[in-house]
Chains A and B, each alone.
Chain A
Amino acid sequence: MKKTILFVVVLLLCNVAMAQMKVTGKVTSSEDGSPIPFANIQIKGVRNIGATTDLDGKFTFESISKDAILVVTYIGFTTQEVPVQGRSEVNIALVSDALNLEEVMVVAYGTVKKGTFTGAASLVKADAIKDVPSLSFENALNGKVAGMQITTTSGQAGSTSSIRIRGIGSMNASNEPLYVIDGVPVVSGDSGQMGDYIYTSNNVMSSLNPNDIESITVLKDAAASALYGSRAANGVIVVTTKKGKEGKPVISFKASVGVSPTWATSNFDAASTEQQVEMYYENFWNAGVYYQNMTQEAASISALKQLSKRFNKHGYTFSASDNTVKTLTIGGDRAGKYYNWDDQLFRTAVYQTYDMSVSGASERSNYYSSLSYTKEQGRVKINDFDRISGRVNLNQKISNSIEFATNINIAKSEKSGYNDTRSTGANYFLQSRNLLWGLYWPTDYLTGDPWTARYGSYAYNPVYYNNEWENWSKMLKISANETLTVKLLPELVLKSVFSYDNTNTMDHIYYSALHFNGSSTSGSVTEMTTNETKLVSSTTLNYNKVFAEKHTLGVLIGWEAEDNRTYFHRSSGTNLPTSALHTVSTAGKLDAAGYNWGSTMMSALSRIEYNYVNKYYFSASFRRDGSSRLGETTRWGNFWSVAGSWKIDSEKFMDNIDYISNLRLRASYGVNGTLPSSLNGWRSLTSYNNNYMQTPGGGVSTIADANLSWETSYTSNIALEFGLFDQRLTGSIEYFNRDSKDLLQDVPISLVTGFGTTLKNIGEINNKGIEIELNGDIIRNKTLTWSAGLTASTVKSTVEKLYGGQDIIWYDPTGGDARAKYIYREGESTLALYGLEWAGVEDETGKNLWYLNNDETPDLTVKGRAATYDYSKASETIIGNIHPKLFGGIHTDVKWNNFTAGLNFTYKIGGYTYDGAGKDVTDDGYYWERIMSKDQYENRWTPENKTASLPMRAAIDMEDVNQKSSRHMHKADFLRLKTINVGYNLPKNLTSKINVSNVRVYFNGSNLWTMAAYDVYDPEVNEYGTRGWETPICKTYTFGVEFTF
């Protein structure tokens, strides 16, 4: 299409030239010097003469004017005009048009030129994500799209990320965006049911090889996303996979190896063993002297007795000759030797990936196929993930008007050995930081046998127990999209897509009879199979026509049906006969469950797009969805949008302003929705989980609102896009306002009805913010380009309305440890931390102080405010807001001859994070049997350190540390060098000798540098802004090589 338009333009400027000569030349890419075949070359102003480059990028004109101007065009590159100026050989290097307004972007049900799109969308191309060592593409998007926050709770290999586009719009339903791959909505999130047993997730998106991705478009406003109707309120992520390019088959092979020797930051690093012993002694000594009126001698005896009781059996003795910590000495047979548990539990993790792809195209067919193998190790020794995936994308023109396309992806992955929960002995990160003393050894000091009992801190010996349990999840995912495109008329195209997507996940979890989780049942094993099928059929008719050369009209109508069904089966066995067989079949006692669930949706959709002289654009969309998640009376809903844009720089009055190369204003308004998470929230159910006397028992289990409906978002968006100095500086500034209404809430009802809550559409949330994207070429010439860009976003996310105006207290659902407390209150943030307000530590006594925030009689005043020593007298209040003031990314790239280099930063300014682990490792003496952090050692109150930030430790059951309070709240600001890339393309004369068209070697460093306002733990926290005992992320150094044949 683009070529045709240019062709027409060239023809219209028809002119006759004189002085003929023969001209030959070669067209190459400025990026890597590789030849560009099939580039189109026209002579400016001359009709009927043109050439196409051959496979080596060469062209010949037998006879043209020596003053001719060659116009070279090729998709994906900026069109260039080159005067011949009498030369017989003209070599042309085309520059890739990364910033080109003509760039084609995949959006809802079609493609659009970036410069003409009326909605808010961001495009991320393969280049931006290709070298990042990540199983799944989401992490590579970090900081690249304004308004989008990506968080990873866990550094476990294969775990799920969370994405928030433009804030939080729901309390009860999902806040995750819709994912669309090659035009078809797909399943996302966690796969399998292992989460019911241990704290983990298995990211279904990791079945998509990031190397197969051509581009990712993030649809942000209603104009961009409303065509996805009732699922689009949280934005849409549109992924497009690769296609072949016309020309010789391109064979590419890529291999990379990454190593992760350390965590990305310090994470609750433990104090040394000597320091731990010192704090332990001090804990009891303080309790004796300060709280129990003991003499120093008595307190010292009591403290030493505690140490001896715990550690004599491990080969250590303790003494303190002057009855204070100053003379505390560790003796005994193992004196001076401490066990290094970190070495035992963690490793330098290795990441390897191998990708091979073959692609090509002819006039009638187009293919891309790939095979990939990836193996990722977690830093936790037992955690592994591997994946093998293959893809075939085929396009075949049957005739001039009919085209078939097939995209098939198959991926198999296996994840093993994981657990992030706070509550079991199986979380090695927690154990290393909080439970495993250097004084504990994996073997018994006296007998040399493995230590099998619980250690005093409630840790279990992982060296022994690692062999007594296992878990894994195996996922096999097959997806096939068939697309038929029929050109019914030149202006009318019918497209029908049928997609089949099946994800089969098998989960296995085993504890031997010797394991502490299996001992009461003589061993246990559970096998689960979850099979999720998604069928999507969508058919669209697309009409596009230019009338009177001024009016461009596009009309789309279509319908879509979707069927989702998941079959689940679980069988469990306990009382296992032998530790050699880890299967349910051998078990003495069996238990099973099996059922299936699903949802369906039907939709009709339409869109109209119109522009007048490519200056004034207008579009509108309408979709009607019917969903099985809602009752008959309410299941159909209408979603729509209107949008317009005005290309100001095309106006006459802008003609004289040379430095503005693009100026466009666009605005949109629309309505889209979110369906309830619950499949049957509208239906009162009788459930059968009340077995009685070994017979089935049932009862009404929910009281439902038959009129339950989806949540509705009303989004307006206004943006200014600009390009300056011939597009050397481009950018956009965008304002959005999203009012989410009819939000689902579990509304409290009279218990006399038989139930405590019912799901109703009640709440309202508002999100508004500003997003800025800026990109600039600082230096742009033939050998050197240096560009830089930034994204910056603000989101203000506010609860507007709640049922009866009543506050709702809720807890961070991650980790199952209710680590942070929040409140939904009208007029407050959607992530408002709720708890006691800590007033710090009293210098003289080392005691905790709390602001009262009520009318109780204060014990004292702190900074002029009423305060108390006793937390139970203080009242809870809103203590902070998780949402940052500003977040985004900064990137800069340099290309110099064959070298490329890039830096990608992400940052967050303002807001707080909540520390869910601090109560364990900076404890006041309550968990006295555990080890403490370096932070605790350095900052605790002692008579020598009276201005300490943490209180005195004393083993007297003080619960202060366990309060949800501002004590555990820390500033969230950080700047992180997310990735650094260096690449080098070997010179052609070298590579051609070995018949390789291109060889690239590269290095990628991930998370290598971090600067944080609070540096005790990794500042990249989860979507609720909390950090707990999840495995942290690592520094990864990746080296790769890529061959193209």
Chain B
Amino acid sequence: MKKINILFTILGIVLLSSCEGFLDVKPTNSADASTSITTAADAKVIISGLMSKMVSSNYYGRNFFLYGDAKGGDFAIRSQGRGMDALYVFNHSASSNSFSGYWSQMYHCILQINNLLENIDKIEAAGKGSAALSDYKGQALTARALIYFDLVRLYGKPYNMDNASLGVPLILETLDASAQPTRATVAQVYEQIVTDLTAAAPLMGKTKVLGFLNYYANQAILARVYLNMGNNAAALTAAQAVITSGKYTLYSNANWVSSWSAENGSESIFELGVYLSEADLGTASLGFYLLRSGIQKGAMGWFMASDEFLARLNQDPSDVRWGIMDYDETYTDTGVKRYGSCRKYSGANLTGDKGSMSAVNIKVIRLSEMYLIAAEAAFPTNKQLAADYLKEIRKRSPNLAAPTATNITMQMIKDEKSKELFAEGQRYFDRIRWNESITFNDDFISPAVIITHRDKTIDRTFYKTILPIPKTEIDANPALASQQNPGYAQ
């Protein structure tokens, strides 16, 4: 009995003394966020995670490109109610169809970046920095710049329209759950974008790595940003840095179409990876959104080219870019093949870039765009240079006259950009930057409906040119209530 008493006494002591250790139970499929980044290898995992989050359906995986395409006049819908047509008809309010997924997913990505940057700073402060770590820091800063660039174009007025107006909250560090940040101006956001890109550039490697950002991707983004800021000289310099690097080459006319059936094309400056059972959206992928209705189980025929775009591409019926177009569902009604269905995200032969029709990489920035930016940036001051750059892209329409210093027009550059970057999420942003009015191919909707959310033609003075701050955000962050975009109910 004495022995038993001693046993229990010991047991009691052991139990009580090991208390805190006993109560500290860590998860095994997740790590404590505060200690999960301590080495360069950890940082790489976070960068991979960040890229994966950027290719979510709410961002580059689908919706961000759809935003830039559906609203730009080059696309039309055949029927209302199939899905995502709110983008096309501008059916947006703070509480319904606010597409808050952009807002939440992009800020979620920014959180990952800020958290990574803070941890890299800690590692470096502890004297454990390395070249690899600097590279990850550069990638993080570049990604942050790209995300803010996308955010400010979704929620803020174009830079060249009113850069003193409100942009988006500028968050550069991890926030507490109770934080209620307010919006910075468009100019402030652009300033930060340039700061981040400039800080990142010297840290980044110049080798091309599929799926990740490198120095040239940084420069390419910088070229886009400066073009939006109206700083043509800087945009030209940045674009030229990429063009002259020798790392990337333009697709020849012969292999332009097949470039959409392979990953890591010679033009790819920044390409986000979509692999089977990773970020593959299946029948909800961007590729499926552009397929002809019924061509595949699950293909609903959501979006197709507008008449205006088809007429533009038809300036040269031998344009190589017809090769990626397929006829659309109007065939069943008219018996005439109208090539309005785009296969850039399902592959010319519907086998994608690695055998799957939906697990297809997203080519975020490619070299053709750099030529077009260079052409546009050079145009006001150096017509010859502009023509030289445009010529390289325009030759994909073999029957059209090559541009020269004398015949080149801004319209030629704009048309070329529409043809080349069709379905690549650029058109709408370009057109509101150019302050063009956009006319939609609404007659194409069959049976016809009355579109109440916008006029047939809009321009950038229309309040729905930019999105509302989502109601869920304003409910949780009342500080933003007075900062809702004008026109949207407070």
- Chain B: which residue is nearest A703 at the CB level? B177
Within 8 A of A (CB), among B263-300: 273, 275, 277-279
Among B186-194, B247-255, B457-465, B473-481, the one that faces the other chain is B473-481
Among A121-129, A234-242, A429-437, A694-702, the one that faces the other chain is A694-702
Q: Cβ of A298 < 8 Å from any Cβ of B? A: no
- Chain A: which residue is nearest B41 at the CB level? A696
Q: Are B19 and A754 in contact (CB under 8 A)?
A: no
Q: Cβ of B195 < 8 Å from any Cβ of A? A: no
A interface size (C-beta, 8 A): 60
Given contacts A401-B1, A692-B273, A699-B49, contact A539 B473 (CB under 8 A): no
Q: Shortest CB–CB separation between residue B347 and chain A, in angstroms?
A: 19
Q: Cβ of A457 < 8 Å from any Cβ of B? A: no
Q: Are B49 and A698 in contact (CB under 8 A)?
A: yes
Q: Are A696 and B48 in contact (CB under 8 A)?
A: yes
Q: Are A679 and B27 in contact (CB under 8 A)?
A: yes
Q: Cβ of B333 < 8 Å from any Cβ of A? A: no
Q: Are A600 and B34 in contact (CB under 8 A)?
A: no
Q: Are A699 and B4 in contact (CB under 8 A)?
A: no
Partner of B48, one of A494, A598, A692, A753: A692
- Chain B: which residue is nearest A627 at the CB level? B23
Max chain A C-beta neighbours (<10 A), residue from B24, B51, B108:
B108
What B residues does A754 contact at CB under 8 A?
107-108, 110-112, 174-175
Q: Shortest CB–CB separation between residue B182 and chain A, in angstroms?
A: 9
Q: In the complex, what distance in Å separates the CA atom of A751 from the CA atom of B169?
A: 11
- Chain A: which residue is nearest B476 at the CB level? A748
- Chain B: which residue is nearest A596 at the CB level? B28
Given contacts A691-B52, A750-B181, A754-B175, contact A699 B46 (CB under 8 A): yes
Among B7-15, B69-77, B437-445, the one that faces the other chain is B7-15
Q: Cβ of B156 < 8 Å from any Cβ of A? A: no
Within 8 A of A (CB), among B6-41: 8, 11-12, 15-16, 19-20, 22-25, 27-34, 36-37
- Chain B: which residue is nearest A758 at the CB level? B177
Return the CB mask of B178-220 against A: 1 if under 8 Å, else 0: 1111000000000000000000000000000011000000000
Q: Cβ of B400 < 8 Å from any Cβ of A? A: no
Q: Cβ of B468 < 8 Å from any Cβ of A? A: no
Partner of A751, one of B30, B52, B104: B104
Given contacts A699-B49, A758-B177, contact A684 B107 (CB under 8 A): no
Q: Are B49 and A684 in contact (CB under 8 A)?
A: no
Partner of A600, one of B12, B25, B210, B472: B25
Given contacts A599-B25, A685-B30, contact A749 B4 (CB under 8 A): no
Q: Are A696 and B111 in contact (CB under 8 A)?
A: no
Partner of A402, one of B1, B15, B16, B112: B1
Q: Cβ of A496 < 8 Å from any Cβ of B? A: yes
Within 8 A of B (CB), among A543-562: 559, 561
What B residues does A752 contact at CB under 8 A?
107, 169, 171, 175, 179, 181, 473, 477
Q: Are B112 and A699 in contact (CB under 8 A)?
A: yes
What A residues does B37 contact at CB under 8 A?
686
Residue pairs across A and B with CB atoms within 8 Å: the count is 189
Q: Are A600 and B23 in contact (CB under 8 A)?
A: yes
What A residues does B470 contact at CB under 8 A?
751
Q: Are A699 and B53 in contact (CB under 8 A)?
A: yes
What B residues does A599 contact at CB under 8 A?
25
Q: Cβ of A653 < 8 Å from any Cβ of B? A: no
Partner of A753, one of B12, B46, B176, B279: B176
What A residues does B32 contact at CB under 8 A?
683-686
Some 21 contacts from A to B, beta carbons below 8 A apart, are A494-B8, A537-B11, A537-B15, A539-B11, A600-B22, A602-B23, A626-B23, A679-B25, A679-B27, A685-B31, A686-B30, A686-B32, A686-B33, A693-B51, A696-B48, A750-B179, A751-B103, A751-B107, A751-B477, A756-B472, A806-B475
Excluding A496-B8, A601-B23, A688-B30, 17 further A-B contacts by CB distance (< 8 Å) are A484-B4, A561-B15, A595-B29, A596-B28, A602-B15, A684-B32, A684-B34, A686-B33, A687-B31, A688-B29, A693-B51, A693-B273, A697-B46, A750-B477, A751-B103, A752-B169, A753-B107
Binding site for A on B (CB under 8 A): 1, 4-5, 8, 11-12, 15-16, 19-20, 22-25, 27-34, 36-37, 44-46, 48-53, 55, 100, 103-104, 107-108, 110-112, 115, 169, 171, 174-181, 210-211, 273, 275, 277-279, 470, 472-473, 475-477, 480
Binding site for B on A (CB under 8 A): 401-402, 484, 486, 488, 494, 496, 537, 539, 559, 561, 563, 591, 595-602, 626-628, 632, 635, 679-680, 683-688, 690-703, 705, 748-756, 758, 806
Closest 9 CB pairs of A and B: A754-B111, A697-B48, A697-B49, A750-B477, A686-B36, A690-B52, A684-B33, A699-B49, A692-B52
